[in-house]
Homo-oligomer: A and B are copies of this chain.
Amino acid sequence: MSKSIAGPEIERLIQLLGKLPGLGPRSARRAALALVKRKETLLAPLARACTEVNEKVGVCTVCGNVDTVDPCSICRDPRRDESTIVVVEDVSDLWALERAGAMAARYHVLGGVMSPLDGIGPDDLNIRGLIERCRSGRVGEVILAVNATVEGQTTAHYITGEIAGLKADGIDVTVTRLAHGVPVGGELDYLDDGTLAAALKARTRF
């Protein structure tokens, strides 16, 4: 808004809400108004939740996950296989894998992918920490669960090279990646050629 209509407090709230992903200036105004209208049930709890998360939540120094404890509750969980590390780009990918609940492993959050065009090199990511974890000798397998983009695959290749370099020190870690194929419930007609080719190539016995 070019001029202040509802006072600086609401304007500030609208401005901050507009910085959230998925909210533009218009929906930020709608969200702010919804908050003002529901002060007791929404605004006050949101203020408390934001303050609480701000005070308590931090980044896990081991894996890069966000949690109220450090190391995070996943890194502390004794039921999880310590020898398997799933490498993801972002915490949101970690959450997606946890929702799927497919694997009781540990994680390592890179915090992005290598992207020379954006000036993001390996040193800007949490790769050094991953190599250190491998160096501890307790890691048997690293599963690269990075996105199937050019940047993701470049990062995967770099990490594979770094882990292969550990063999000189007598440390042998298996590096795997997620399978490519037809999404469960997906229709062939809508799939891209690359996925179809990969699914054909990696066909399994029925």
Contacts and interface: CB of A to CB of B under 8 A. Distances in A.
Interface of A: 1-3, 5-7, 9-10, 12-13, 16-17, 19-23, 27, 29-37, 39, 42-47, 49-54, 56-57, 65-69, 73, 90-92, 94-95, 98-99, 101
B52 A9 contact: yes
Residue among A3, A12, A32 facing the most chain B CB atoms (10 A cut-off): A32
B31 A22 contact: yes
B33 A57 contact: no
A7 B67 contact: yes
Contacts of A17: 20, 46
Contacts of A12: 45, 49, 52
A53 B30 contact: no
Contact of A5 (B42, B57, B95): B95
A5 B98 contact: yes
Contacts of A47: 47, 50-51, 54
Residue among A10, A35, A50 facing the most chain B CB atoms (10 A cut-off): A50
B29 A92 contact: yes
Contact of A45 (B16, B46, B69): B16
Given A22-B23, A22-B27, A35 B50 contact: yes
Contacts of A67: 6-7
A3 B104 CA distance: 14
Nearest to A65: B6
Given A23-B22, A31-B21, A7 B46 contact: no
Contact of A9 (B27, B33, B68, B101): B68
A51 B52 CA distance: 12
11 contacts: A6-B66, A6-B67, A7-B68, A12-B49, A13-B50, A16-B42, A17-B46, A19-B34, A20-B23, A36-B91, A47-B47
